[in-house]
Structure 1
Amino acid sequence: MSKTKDRIRESNLRYKQSLGQNFLYDEALLEELTAVAGVTKEEDVLEIGPGCGSLTKHLCDAANSVLAVELDERLIPLLKAFLDEKKNLTVVQGDVMSLNLQEITAGLKKPFAVVANIPYYITTPLIKLLLTGGLQVSRLALMVQGSSG
């Protein structure tokens, strides 16, 4: 069993289908996603939906800093405990679709990259928000989870 699955099982956390939760466990895939996203130590990253932090860990290793926005408040303690040693990580709890993104990303080096593993149902509104919200985004690296319907 993966370390991520172990952490989730030990926390007695149950996935919320209503939030489209689908956590990544494969370390090789996570490394590849980080590499394909082109993240470097010279840039900052906005990660949307870090979940329990598996991809976040790799992003922190690759980037100057990472701002992770997580909707599910139940995941915040798990995320912070897992990544406590990552001094280049800031975690914000809230809905990325309703937060003031210009305000929360004000401390990031511009332009910054956006990396996310997002549910299918928010793909279009999220991309529209990121591209038209006045943010200085260098690129979007989005993995979109398939619809279950």
Structure 2
Amino acid sequence: MFPWNKQYPFNQQKLPDFFKKMNPNQVENYVQQVMGQVFGQDQAAGFPYQFAENHEEKQKSVPSESWYEATDRLYFKIPIPAEQAKNVKIQHNSHQLTLVNFPETGEKKSFQMPFLVRRKGTKATYQNEELELSFLKNEDLNVTEIHIPEEEIRS
């Protein structure tokens, strides 16, 4: 029988010290370097789990938004610094919200709304470096009834 208890992933007590001292970022950089050599730099960028430093920094700089639902309203909150809030333009239609000049000047960030909203009646407030938008929900009362022919229904 194969001695499983003496082999690497199963017996953690016998791991060499260099495995214990490894930095995950160093491993990731090495893997990306090897992938770049094997597949080319353009192809290596398309692989999942790529944590390039500039990609992480860009993700960290974009604040996370939050959506809240009430019975007749939909609320959207996102932190925006005061100096940047002066330049942000807000645009929306019934299903999508777009912030122009956000996260940086000249850029656009779009958000899909979880519900249909009315085009009018939106209110914006800015307090404590946080933008809050309040949308009126739009209830779609147009219901279409579809008839199923009886000859197509089989038991």
Structure-2-length-normalised TM-score: 0.22
If asked which structure has higher relative contact order (CA below 8 Å, sep 6+), I would say 1
TM-score, normalization: structure 1? 0.23
